[in-house]
Amino acid sequence: MSKELVNAIADMREAEALKLVQEMVEGGSEPMAILGAAREAMDIVGKRYEEGAYFLPELMLAGEMLNQITDILKPKLAKLPEVKRHGKVLIGTVVGDIHDIGKNIVTFMLDVNGFEVLDLGVDVPPQKFVEAILAFEPQVVGLSGFLTLAFDAMKETLEAIEAAGLRDKVKIMIGGGQINEDIKEYTGADAYGNDAMAGVSLAKKWAGAK
Ligand code: B12
């Protein structure tokens, strides 16, 4: 069924994709596995876009489907009774980039895992991160970005945090579609995370939570 879901999303069959997700949830499929299938579909959509088979409307519809799927899965992901707050995480998508679905999943997972999260939204300039660190005093900062352009924006954000004398006050994690170890080195971040749970693990490690 997971393969059917990948194909339905990748082929833009929205109603069928949402119906399949409902059926998978009712059949007891793991929400993270369903998200994994949706991510696989996004890679296919991305490739078709690169090849010129898909255009912006398909990217938009893919994003819309993914948001709806995340909304269906949220109650299943949020079954932790947790209320104790482990620490504070500031998060945002860096300047020039408006992709936020991945970031929103990370924000949601941090929240249900006991973090107080301040989400600055998308297209966030470096200075706004600096101001928010001063006001919100997080232990952890998460930068999200899906565009190649985001690598420089992340680097500039880290430089602005450093210039403001705040670099040793926060741990910084980055993430988003193409982020890897090399990008982590390039930007000067402390770590990168491939998915939302990696972000939660890093935040737990840094905020001293069990
Ligand atoms: C949906 C989508 C869009 C939607 C976004 C809707 C939205 N609200 O986010 C819309 C239509 C708006 C869009 C616009 C554009 N897009 Co677009 N888009 C995509 C697509 C298909 C999926 C992205 C996505 O949401 N993935 C799903 C999530 C769940 O991804 P995920 O990686 O699994 O997320 C996890 C991790 O990344 C991690 N994570 C994320 N953030 C963080 C942060 C931290 C701290 C941590 C620890 C972890 C973490 O946790 C997440 C959850 O588990 C990708 C293709 C792809 N393969 O990704 C292209 C893609 C990212 N887009 C692309 C492009 C080119 C564009 C446009 C420039 C197109 C245009 N000509 O206008 C614009 C850019 C506008 C801008 N300034 O940002 C390219 C980027 C190429 C590049 N090298 O830069 C891609 C790769 C498509 C492609 N193959 O060409 N896009």
> pLDDT tens digit string along 151-160?
999 999 999 9
Ligand 1 atom closest to the CA of 60, numbered from 1: 11
Question: Distance from the CA of 84 to the center of ligand 1, in angstroms?
Answer: 32
The mean predicted confidence, pLDDT, of the chain is 93
Tens of pLDDT along 174-202? 999 899 999 999 999 999 999 998 999 99
Mean pLDDT of 142-171: 98
DSSP label at 167?
G
Contact 105, 161 (CB under 8 A): no
Question: Distance from the CA of 177 to the center of ligand 1, in angstroms?
Answer: 6
Q: Is the CB of 45 under 6 A from ligand 1?
A: yes
Which amino acid, residue 62? A
Residue 157's contacts (CB-CB under 8 Å, 6 or more residues apart) are 94, 95, 126, 129, 143
Dihedral sign for Cα atoms in the order 13, 18, 19, 20 = positive
What is the spatial distance between Cα 90 and Cα 170, in angstroms, rounded to a whole number?
Answer: 10
Ligand 1: residue whose CA is nearest its atom 1: 63
Ligand 1: residue whose CA is nearest its atom 64: 147
Question: Distance from the CA of 165 to the center of ligand 1, in angstroms?
Answer: 31
The pTM (predicted TM-score) of the whole model is: 0.93
Which amino acid, residue 1? M
Provide the percentage of residues in the chain whose pLDDT is more than 70.
95
Question: Distance from the CA of 163 to the center of ligand 1, in angstroms?
Answer: 29
112 versus 160: which is more confidently predicted?
160
Asked which of 23-27, 74-78, 134-138, 146-150 is least confident by mean pLDDT, the reply is 74-78
Six token digits for residue 147? 């565009």
